[in-house]
Amino acid sequence: IETLLKNRSCLWRTCLFSHSKTMSNDTSGPERALQERQKQHMAHGLPKQKPIAGVKQVIVWPQGRGVLGNQPLKVKQALIGLSSKTVGILDADVYGPLVPKLMNRKGNPELTDSSRLLPLVNFGIPCMSMGFLVEDVAPPIVWRGLMVMSAIEKLLRQVDWGLLDYLVIDMPPGTGDDQLSITQNVPIAGAVIVSTPQDIALLDARRGAEMFRKVNVPVLGIVQNMSVFQCPKCNHQTHIFESDGARSLSVDCLFSLLCLGDIPLHLNIREMSDSGQPLVSSPVSPEAEAYRKVATAVVQHLEELSN
C-alpha cells in the first residue's frame, strides 16, 4: 500500500508539474508580471532573521517528554563556572514558565530609558520569563497562537541583555508555532535535544531533531537525562528508564546525533532545583560534574561549528 501511495503521489506531482509548466508557458506578459508581484509580496510576509542585540550566539533547548525543566538552567550555570562565559537564559515557555522558580527570583523587571526590559539577575545570570510579567496567583495564560507569537517576539526583541556570549532559550515542548517563531526570527547557533532513554521519550526527541533540521538549525547533540539511579545506601545502580536509549540516536543512520552526556536521576538535583539553588555550588558532587561534562561538550561543538 505504501508503494502504491508513493507511486500515485509521484504521478500526481508529475501531472501538476507538467500542467503548471504548460500554464506558465502560456501566460502573457501582464500575467507574468502579476505572478512576480505576488511572489514579492509573499517574500515580504516571511520573517527575516535578526540577531539579538549584544548576544553573540543563541542556543535553543527544547523541552521533551520526560525531561525535567531544569536542564537549561543547570547547564548554563555550569558554563559560567567552567569557562567564565557570560550567559543569559530566556524562558520562552509562555504557558508554563519555570525560570522564576528555578532561579529563585520574583518581581517585575525594570525598564530602561528606551523602554526595554531589564532581565532579573541571580547567581550572576540574567534571565527573563513570562513568569516575571504576571502574578504568581494569576489564572493560567489562555492565549491563541498569534498572541503567544507576539509575546515571544517581545521577549526576544524588547529585553536589554547587555553583552552575552551565549543566550540559552528554554523552548516549550512541541513543534508548533512557538518553536517556529523563534527559529525563523533569530539566527540559532545550535539546538540541544534532551531525552530520557525510554522509547516513548525518544519519539519526541526524533521529532524535535527533525524539526530543527527542516528549519536549518544545527543540532549540537542529545543529552540523556535521568540515565541511571544510584542507591544512596548501597550504591547499586538501576536504569529505571532503560540504558543508553538516547545513545541509540547517535548511531541512527537518519539522525546520527552526538551524545553530549548523561544526567543521573539524583535527589540532590531535585532538591536544589526546587529551592532555586545552583548545582555548581557543590562542585565536588558527581551530579555537578555530569552537568559540567555536558556544558563542555556543548561549548566544544559550538566552537567546531564556528570554525
Structural domains of the chain sorted by starting position, each given as residue range(s) with its CATH number in brackets? 55-95+163-306 (3.40.50.300)
Upper half-sphere CA count for residue 249 (Cβ side, 13 Å): 31
pLDDT at 62: 81
User: What angle, rounded to 10 degrees, do the helices at 286-306 and 71-83 form?
Assistant: 80
pLDDT at 252: 60
Q: Residue 48: is it exposed, middle or buried by C-beta count within 10 angstroms (0-12/13-18/19+)?
A: exposed
The cell for 30 is 501582464
Which amino acid is located at 49 in the chain?
Q
Given this model, what pLDDT does residue 164 score?
92
11 vs 249: CA distance, rounded Å: 34
Per-residue pLDDT of the chain (307 residues; tens, 9 = 90+): 455 444 444 544 444 444 444 444 444 566 777 767 666 655 555 567 889 999 999 999 886 655 554 455 566 665 665 566 888 989 888 887 888 888 888 888 999 999 899 999 988 889 999 888 877 655 667 777 778 888 888 888 899 999 999 999 988 777 777 788 888 889 999 999 888 888 777 888 888 888 888 888 999 988 888 888 888 788 788 888 877 776 676 666 455 678 888 888 888 777 877 777 776 556 677 777 888 888 888 888 888 888 7
pTM listed for this prediction: 0.75
Q: How many CB atoms lie within 10 A of CB 79?
A: 26
Going by C-alpha positions, the residue among 267, 96, 266, 250 that lies closest to residue 173 is: 96
